[in-house]
Structure 1
Amino acid sequence: MKSNHKDQNKTLKYNVKEPSELLPFLLKAMSNRSRNSVKSILTRGQVTIDDHIETKHNYALQPGQTVTILKNKAAIKESQLVGMTILYEDEDIIVINKEAGLLSIATQKEKIRTAHHQLMDHVRLEGPENRIFVVHRLDKDTSGVMMFAKSEKVKRMLQNAWKEKVKERTYVALVEGEVKKSKGYISSWLKESSTHLVYSSPTKNDGQHAITHFKVIQSNNSFSLLEVQLETGRKNQIRVHMQDLGHPVVGDKKYGSTGNAIGRLGLHAKVLVFTHPITGKLLRFEAPVPKSFLVKSK
């Protein structure tokens, strides 16, 4: 197994030639390391498959996939952002392309391996007083364009005028089954249960009003790739509305999905267009659709 790595210390890349589980593949790829060392590289989220971070030992690799291993944790601390790339940065904002599997912000269990924490470290390289503020979130398993503010003032300006500032938020969703209607929209009132499951209330004005527009890009008997535009940005909105449509997002067990053909959640924030809070300029950012989402036509 040959690696075509750029930098001995930082990344190793391997092309998958035959089906295998991830841990045995890594043990073979890094035969100079102990089993425990390889396991900890996996557990710490240093392994990416195509477009998502993978920590499961028994993840089923398929021929044609690319496995990237970030080797040196010390090198990462200084400059390497794990699970994301910076698309744009100025004095006021940072825009990133987040991979599936990376948390936007800290949880009880995970404090450090988050987009927010890494960007905080990133801006503090320039000055210890620098900080990063969360403007909006993407679910851990959703990939794509996400924006952060560099000051409390800018964060407030964006959040207080979110509807006026954000001109477009386009997602792509890979959903189960063939969506027969070429385009349409779903409108409902969303509520959250005590177990944090979001659902559509049958009663008008009972909950937060949510509107999701969709358009079919590609489809076959098994899957449809939809372009989805949000008129409102509610928690888990697309995921609930796709379930309401009868076509749950691939890999979304929480909201009705029955299988996971791509090894991740089929949801990606593709386009974010907004007016810069300070300069007033219109900015547009796009994160390409993950290859695993593309549907083979009938």
Structure 2
Amino acid sequence: MKDKREFIIEADYSNKRVDKFLSKKNDDLSRSYLQELIDDDKVLVNGKAVKKSYKLSAGDKLELLVPEPEELEVKAENIPLDIIYEDDDIVVVNKQPDLVVHPAPGNEEGTLVNALLYHCDNLSGINGVIRPGIVHRLDKDTSGAMVVAKNDEAHLNLTEQFKERDTKKIYLTLVEGKVKYKKGKIDAAIGRDSKDRKKMAVTSKNSKKAVSGFKVLKRYQKHSLVEVNLETGRTHQIRLHMEYMGHPVVGDELYGYNQKTLDVKRQMLHSHLLGFYHPRTGEWVEFEAPLLEDMRQVLDTLE
């Protein structure tokens, strides 16, 4: 049976986009999942399916049809995992590079989710069949600390923390060139690149606020090791902000230099520390993920 949710639009929400209204009124559903429901004609305004850009009017009757969770069909795979911490509610892993977080059409195997399904008896089902337990993501070639929810209560709690920026996210990255300033803050909004839909860009058009604090830990002859504190969590934020500052991440094929300056097989970006309030106890917890061997070896060669 579908979960049917109905809303009568008040004057305060007149002229608001339907996807943004639904995101505000349905904290238990991710924004991306709500947009999928809109695309699948599961959102009706006055009895008719609408697009996510539809502007609401006062008095509109909005219906949201949420399908019953499907049984998980993603195959469990015995892929090695570096587990930092685990209890009945969460798993914290040190994700290895070259590992996609969740399956996608045409790429249903060999992901972190496949590995977790082998390791865990249960994961939260809020994000549907192919993204169980996934609260936040790291790029395929970014390594480091990630938390995964093992039940729906933990998932909702953690999702809200990431949404409200109640988490702590510290990254380590090796960048091109000597960063001039010892520390600072980059405040540059990020949106979709108008010329290449696969890329994001620092732009004022259709963008969202993005803030990264940084501190230079060590300067080498032609590179710098930088600690980045994410105050927001936009797609490709660190990679974009470093490139915007003139110091792209070493090995970044999307936003970095065309000519590789070091022999690396992936972008030198690592989620070093992740902090949040434990979804069951409410206690503040922090988890550190040690640098992986490939990144340590690159740093050793620069000494």
Structure 1 length-normalised TM: 0.66
- Map 1:11-26; keep pairs closer than 5 Å: none
Structure 1 residue aligned with 2:185: 185
Letter of the 1:263 partner, please give it. K
Q: Find the residue that maps to 1:139 and give its secondary structure.
A: coil
Structure 1 residue aligned with 2:159: 159
Preserved CA contact (<8 Å) 2:91 2:148: yes
Find the partner of 1:96 among 73, 93, 96: 93
* TM superposition shift of 1:156: 1.4
Preserved CA contact (<8 Å) 1:102 1:115: yes
- Map 1:188-199; keep pairs closer than 5 Å: 188-193=188-193, 194-199=196-201
Find the partner of 2:79 among 78, 81, 86: 81
Report the Cα distance in structure 2 between the residues aligned to 1:293 and 1:285, rounded to whole angstroms: 24
Report the Cα distance in structure 2 between the residues aligned to 1:81 and 1:226, rounded to whole angstroms: 31
Letter of the 2:284 partner, please give it. L
Cα separation, partners in 2 of 1:130 and 1:151, compared to 1, 3 Å: closer
2:153 maps to 1:148: no
- Larger deviation, residues 107-116 vs 214-223: 107-116
Report the Cα distance in structure 1 between the residues aligned to 2:198 and 2:270, rounded to whole angstroms: 22
Report the Cα distance in structure 2 between the residues aligned to 1:130 and 1:248, rounded to whole angstroms: 36
- Map 1:117-136; keep pairs closer than 5 Å: 117-124=114-121, 132-136=132-136
- Map 1:105-116; keep pairs closer than 5 Å: 105-116=102-113
Report the Cα distance in structure 1 between the residues aligned to 2:165 and 2:285, rounded to whole angstroms: 10
Preserved CA contact (<8 Å) 1:145 1:272: yes
Higher strand share: 1
What is the identity percentage for the equivalent residue pairs of Structure 1 and Structure 2?
Answer: 38
2:283 maps to 1:288: no
- Cα deviation, 1:92-126, whole Å, max 9, x if unaligned, reads 111100111111111233212111121012213xx
Cα separation, partners in 2 of 1:149 and 1:199, compared to 1, 3 Å: same
Structure 2 residue aligned with 1:274: 276
Structure 2 residue aligned with 1:253: 253
- Cα deviation, 1:127-184, whole Å, max 9, x if unaligned, reads 7x98641000000000000010012222111112325574421000111111111111
Preserved CA contact (<8 Å) 2:272 2:290: yes
Q: Find the residue that maps to 2:254 and give its secondary structure.
A: helix
- Cα deviation, 1:60-103, whole Å, max 9, x if unaligned, reads xxxxxxxxxxxxxxxxx78x533x31111111111100111111
Letter of the 2:299 partner, please give it. L
* TM superposition shift of 1:207: 0.7
Preserved CA contact (<8 Å) 2:190 2:209: yes
- Map 1:22-101; keep pairs closer than 5 Å: 80-82=78-80, 84-101=81-98
Preserved CA contact (<8 Å) 2:243 2:256: yes
Cα separation, partners in 2 of 1:141 and 1:118, compared to 1, 3 Å: same
Q: Find the residue that maps to 1:235 and give its secondary structure.
A: coil
Report the Cα distance in structure 1 between the residues aligned to 2:167 and 2:143, rounded to whole angstroms: 20
- Larger deviation, residues 161-170 vs 132-141: 161-170
Structure 1 residue aligned with 2:172: 172
RMSD over aligned Cα atoms: 2.3
Q: Find the residue that maps to 1:216 and give its secondary structure.
A: strand
Cα separation, partners in 2 of 1:91 and 1:275, compared to 1, 3 Å: same
Report the Cα distance in structure 1 between the residues aligned to 2:91 and 2:79, rounded to whole angstroms: 13
Report the Cα distance in structure 2 between the residues aligned to 1:233 and 1:200, rounded to whole angstroms: 14
Preserved CA contact (<8 Å) 1:218 1:297: no
- Cα deviation, 1:45-69, whole Å, max 9, x if unaligned, reads xxxxxxxxxxxxxxxxxxxxxxxxx
Structure 1 unmatched runs, 5+: 1-76
Preserved CA contact (<8 Å) 1:219 1:295: no
Structure 2 unmatched runs, 5+: 1-75, 126-131
Structure 2 residue aligned with 1:30: none
2:230 maps to 1:230: yes
